[in-house]
A = this chain, B = another copy of it.
Amino acid sequence: MIQKTKGVQSIAFSESPYIMSSATVVGKKESEGPLGKYFDMTDSENLFGEETWEAAEGTMQKEACTLALGKAKLTPDKVRYLFGGDLLRQGIATSMGLESFQIPLFGLFGACSTSGEALALASMCVAAGYGEHMLAVTSSHFGTAEKEFRFPLSYANQRPLSAQWTVTGSGAFVVGNKKSHVRITGITVGKIVDYGLKDSQNMGACMAPAAADTIAVNLSDFERQSDEYSRIVTGDLGYVGQSILFDLMRKKGLDIMKNHMDCGMTIFDQQTQDTHAGGSGCGCAATTLAAYILPKIEKGEWKKVLFVPTGALMSTVSFNEGESVPGIAHGIVLEHC
């Protein structure tokens, strides 16, 4: 079932799993952005019927999974394993949101790269024959993230231009062996990359080196030129991170300017939505993939896409103790079929 690649980080699946369905739940601001019409569900108060931001984020994961299962015509008992995670301390959105499904759970933490991590493990499990259907889900929420990483919303604090806006959104994916028009043909698992940057208000700069590393390794492992991909899609580098990524790739002798896209630069309109360097959060890459990228691959408009969500590995504690903010990025190769 498994085909090794040239390098040790990547796996090429000889019998590739399919993304059988996906679904998105987003907040008000996301529903008003450029991708607004593509999302499945929104709530004008960002609370989804709950009383706290954390419970709301859990409910977003639950609703996204419910919608994805419905589109794949599956009940929860038909899913072998669930791979889920979020940005919060001890991943409470996942544990609060997903209990009712009673699907065996692998809890993940990869910061904003978690959607890639979940898709990698889900596709590895399907390709290995561990089950017919796996579910991968991630989320982020502006309200929970500001409380977790920055300041309570009611402080109305100022944000530097390099700061990003955490996406309120959850994306869920059913990965399985039933035919669809999108296959996961390979993965490149990311390493921790630390350039010693310490500015948690400039996540794009912290994550760009990890993205550059994973993209370069993917191209080398699969012996591909960058223009073989219709798009190379990073998660949430934003405007600052993108320009650093281009510089780093150029130093490696690679030019991805023509086919690069960043979910954080796509999900919001920087000019009218006041989102500074762009969107961020686990939910940014997951919802942009599900709502905007997968449909283009399904239609064959894009034949082959390298999806590379990026995570900044830090907490308020590590920041306060003066530690650097390393990055990690996982690569998922998606192909039209």
* Residues of A in contact with B (beta carbons under 8 Å apart): 1-2, 8-9, 11, 52, 54-55, 77, 80-81, 85, 87-92, 95-96, 98-99, 102-111, 117, 120-121, 124-125, 127-131, 147-148, 189-194, 313-318, 321, 323, 326, 328
Contact = CB atoms under 8 A, between A and B. Distances in A.
A50 to B, nearest CB: 10
Contacts of A81: 189
A107 B104 contact: no
Please give the count of copies of this chain that the complex contains: 2
A229 to B, nearest CB: 20
Contacts of A98: 192
B317 A147 contact: yes
Given A192-B98, A194-B99, A90 B111 contact: yes
Contact of A2 (B52, B90, B128, B313): B128
Given A2-B130, A109-B109, A323 B191 contact: no
Contacts of A2: 128-130
A216 to B, nearest CB: 14
A325 to B, nearest CB: 9
A85 B105 contact: no
Contact of A77 (B8, B77, B193): B8
A59 to B, nearest CB: 13
A137 B200 CA distance: 27
A87 B9 CA distance: 26
Contacts of A105: 189-192, 328
Contacts of A89: 88-90, 148, 315-317
A16 to B, nearest CB: 14
A316 B90 CA distance: 9
17 contacts: A1-B128, A8-B77, A9-B104, A11-B130, A89-B317, A90-B109, A91-B313, A92-B315, A95-B314, A98-B192, A102-B191, A107-B110, A107-B328, A109-B109, A127-B128, A147-B317, A148-B317
Given A102-B192, A105-B189, 19 more contacts: A8-B131, A54-B317, A81-B189, A85-B109, A88-B89, A89-B89, A89-B148, A89-B317, A95-B192, A95-B314, A95-B326, A98-B192, A99-B326, A104-B190, A105-B190, A105-B191, A107-B328, A127-B128, A128-B130
A26 to B, nearest CB: 22
A189 B107 contact: no
A105 B103 CA distance: 24
A9 to B, nearest CB: 5
A328 B80 CA distance: 16
Contacts of A190: 104-105
| Shortest beta-carbon contacts, A-B, top 5 | A89-B89, A128-B128, A95-B313, A104-B189, A90-B315
